[in-house]
Amino acid sequence: MLRRLRIVAAASEPTACVAQHPRLATVPPFVLAVARQYPDRGLSLVQLAVIGEAGWLAAQRHYGADTAGLARWGTRWARERILQVLGARLGENPPPS
């Protein structure tokens, strides 16, 4: 069951991490949120965000830029791409698709 989200306040200023790395300023915020879920796994936040952005762009190519499918599945594609790279670095099997 889905629950309603309550938007408290929009971020008016970038976080300190984003301000320090100009590359992170171009990454969509939800991809950055996914990348922040995997700290201390051998890759920096910037590297994880770039990998997640590659997954997001693959979802855009698959679903089209302005579709409901992209809004629903784009973040999952970003997460899956990050998990695939982390799994490959650790010598594990990639996550199921």
For 13-37, what is each residue's pLDDT tens digit? 445 555 567 777 788 888 898 999 9
Residue 4 domain-assigned (yes or no)? no
b/e code 69-96 from CB counts within 10 Å (16+ = b): ebeeebbebbbbbbbebbeeeeeeeeee
Per the structure, the count of domains in the chain is 1
Please check the confidence at residue 5 and state whether its pLDDT lies above 60.
no
**H or E element, residue 28:** none
Residue 10 domain-assigned (yes or no)? no
Q: Rounded to two decimals, what is the model's pTM?
A: 0.70
Residue 24 domain-assigned (yes or no)? yes
Residue 7 domain-assigned (yes or no)? no
Residue type at position 15: T
Which of 64-68, 80-84, 91-95 bottoms out in mean pLDDT, i.e. has the lowest?
91-95
Residue 2 domain-assigned (yes or no)? no
DSSP letters spanning 53-69 = HHHHHHHHHHH-TTSHH
Name the residue range of residue 43's domain: 20-90
